[in-house]
Amino acid sequence: MPLRLYNTMSSQIEEFRPSRDNEVRMYACGPTVYDYGHIGNFRTFIAVDLLQRFLRQSGYEVRYVMNITDVDDKIIRNAAQAGVSVQQYTAKYIQAFLEDSAMIGIQQPILVRATEHIPEMADFVAKLVGKKIAYRTDDGSYYFRIAGFPSYGKLSKRDFSGMLDGARVDVDEYDKDSARDFALWKSPKPGEASWETSIGSGRPGWHLECSVMSMEELGESFDLHAGGEDLVFPHHENEIAQSESLTGQTFARFWFHVRFLLVEGEKMSKSLGNFYTLRDLVLKGYKPSSIRYLLTSVPYRNQLNFTFDGLRQAAVSVERLRNFRQRLSSGNFPAGLTPEMQSLASETLERMKAALDDDLNTAQAQAAIFEMVRRANSAIDSGQLKTGDRAPLLGALDRFDEVFAVLNDDDTAKMKAILHWARSEGREKEISAELRDQVQADQTSNAAIEGKIAEMEAARKARNFAVSDALRAELVGAGVIIENTKDGVRWRRK
């Protein structure tokens, strides 16, 4: 079965296939870098990461481009307030975005920055003016004439037939209910950052950035364009209008929009006190893998209500998968194969693929892997699992993790980096006891723990109980839980 995806343009689930051979060309609207990214942003970025991972797993080559909006009204305002240049102001948040993305398991797309494509944007405006679809105002700004693009509104399904010809909007913060000619290019206001270009001095509008950079990187017509649901109108509508009126071709074939994240049942907002950056959660002591797991646990078009209970449950789920993997890879099992376990592994692969092919039903894919873990665990308990079952079951776990990316236990190292960052920013007060404990527990690396366990076992076999007890106490003190099972000693972190 090929992948089926919901396409906002057709309002239907459609079969997804790239237009050019085996290569998927896709674009996602990236962050506006005036602050640290919040968990709503990361719900969207993780959903698109999951899509591109699944496309690769399905055998496609993926060319995935994301922009960084490193100039807009807010950035200019904040930079001016801080008394630094736009570049200086954004450098810190671009770096933070890269670090946060890596922390949350996002494979880095091809990143393009608005400020590095200004001349191309000016040329694009000049071409639109040549086609009489854009016009210059007395102050040197340029606007897109939406009356000149009759299918304006086709993505958001808004009817603009009664719109006011020539009414304009010159801010990025658009009035959502009325259509206006929108700014492509803004003339500089005194003291504002601007660029000298072929169409005069000024700076690009946000919508223009995405049209120019996506087509430059992916061609005039590409396969998929993604973003959060708030971008449907006006941002994506305007991208379509600009691009298609210039090229006469379908700009993007599929439009992929991620439902807005709610936090504790409400829209996230600073005034409600339910606004969290990724770093806020890590400072509270939550693991990046728990956050990623939670953000992927609800299919991207369904409402996901982020709660701290949910986050704690996500941590338990990830731990369960990691413990199972450890049990499977380090246990001693009888020789041979069990047909039931062999088919369990292959059925799980099929169920995961079918779930993700179904408009990325991540919840079903997770359910499939947990069903496998449950049945394989009971087979281990009853001695039914054989050495020959290890590889296919581990294979299914790996396949799951190619897309979900939560199994490798590098949480503590990432959390340590956040702890150091908080110190360097003078934000010690926000470092929770949970984060400190987590980082300290890792003073002992996995290799050191395993070395100590081996020593402990050797001492016990030699009936040197004083030594084995001391080693056990040391490990427990470092937050290691040790269990004696018939497969040998198993351990995990608290």
Contacts to ligand AMP by CB under 6 A: 29, 31-32, 40-41, 43-44, 227-228, 230-231, 258, 260-261, 268
- The first and second tokens of residue 198, run together, are 């072929």
Comparing CB distances to ligand AMP, the nearer of 48 and 199 is 48
Q: Which does 258 bind (CB under 5 to 8 A by kind): Zn ion, ligand AMP, none?
A: ligand AMP
Shortest spacing between CB 2 and Zn ion, in angstroms: 27
Shortest spacing between CB 227 and ligand AMP, in angstroms: 4
Nearest alpha-carbon partner for 205 in 168, 232, 256, 162: 168
3-state secondary structure 299-340: CCCCCEEECHHHHHHHHHHHHHHHHHHHHHHHCCCCCCCCHH
Burial class (CB in 10 A: 0-12, 13-18, 19+), 2: exposed
Q: Which does 31 bind (CB under 5 to 8 A by kind): ligand AMP, Zn ion, none?
A: ligand AMP
The DSSP output letter for 148 is G
Shortest spacing between CB 67 and ligand AMP, in angstroms: 10
Return the number of other C-beta atoms located less than 10 Å from residue 382's C-beta. Answer: 8
In order, the DSSP letters of 331-391 are ----SS--HHHHHHHHHHHHHHHHHHHBT--HHHHHHHHHHHHHHHHHHHHTT---HHHHH
Shortest spacing between CB 336 and ligand AMP, in angstroms: 49
Shortest spacing between CB 217 and ligand AMP, in angstroms: 17
Q: Which does 210 bind (CB under 5 to 8 A by kind): ligand AMP, Zn ion, none?
A: Zn ion
| Closest residue to ligand AMP: CB criterion | 228
CA distances from 416 to 128, 271, 410, 438 (A): 50, 30, 10, 9
Instruction: Answer whether 245's CB lies under 8 Å from 208's CB.
Output: no
Rounded Cα gap, residues 195 and 187, in angstroms = 9
Shortest spacing between CB 65 and ligand AMP, in angstroms: 14
Comparing CB distances to ligand AMP, the nearer of 197 and 242 is 242
Instruction: Give the CA diameter of the chain.
Output: 92
What's phi and psi for 380, nearest 5 deg? -65, -45
Nearest alpha-carbon partner for 125 in 149, 140, 145, 144: 144
Q: Which does 392 bind (CB under 5 to 8 A by kind): ligand AMP, Zn ion, none?
A: none
Comparing CB distances to Zn ion, the nearer of 69 and 412 is 69
Comparing CB distances to ligand AMP, the nearer of 44 and 444 is 44
Nearest alpha-carbon partner for 393 in 313, 315, 337, 335: 337
Comparing CB distances to ligand AMP, the nearer of 176 and 436 is 176
Comparing CB distances to Zn ion, the nearer of 31 and 288 is 31
- The first and second tokens of residue 33, run together, are 């870098």
Interacting residue ranges for Zn ion, rule: CB under 5 A? 29, 210
Q: Which does 43 bind (CB under 5 to 8 A by kind): Zn ion, ligand AMP, none?
A: ligand AMP
Shortest spacing between CB 477 and ligand AMP, in angstroms: 41
Q: Which does 487 bind (CB under 5 to 8 A by kind): Zn ion, ligand AMP, none?
A: none
Comparing CB distances to ligand AMP, the nearer of 37 and 202 is 37
Comparing CB distances to ligand AMP, the nearer of 18 and 31 is 31
Rounded Cα gap, residues 55 and 62, in angstroms = 7
Shortest spacing between CB 100 and ligand AMP, in angstroms: 12
Angle at 354 between CA 20 and CA 316, to 5 degrees: 120
Q: Which does 40 bind (CB under 5 to 8 A by kind): Zn ion, ligand AMP, none?
A: ligand AMP
Q: Which does 202 bind (CB under 5 to 8 A by kind): ligand AMP, Zn ion, none?
A: none
Comparing CB distances to ligand AMP, the nearer of 86 and 246 is 86
Q: Which does 252 bind (CB under 5 to 8 A by kind): Zn ion, ligand AMP, none?
A: none
Q: Which does 228 bind (CB under 5 to 8 A by kind): Zn ion, ligand AMP, none?
A: ligand AMP
In order, the DSSP letters of 202-259 are EEE-HHHHHHHHHHHHH-SSEEEEEEEGGGIIIIIHHHHHHHHHHH-S-SEEEEEEEP
Shortest spacing between CB 46 and ligand AMP, in angstroms: 10
Shortest spacing between CB 304 and ligand AMP, in angstroms: 8
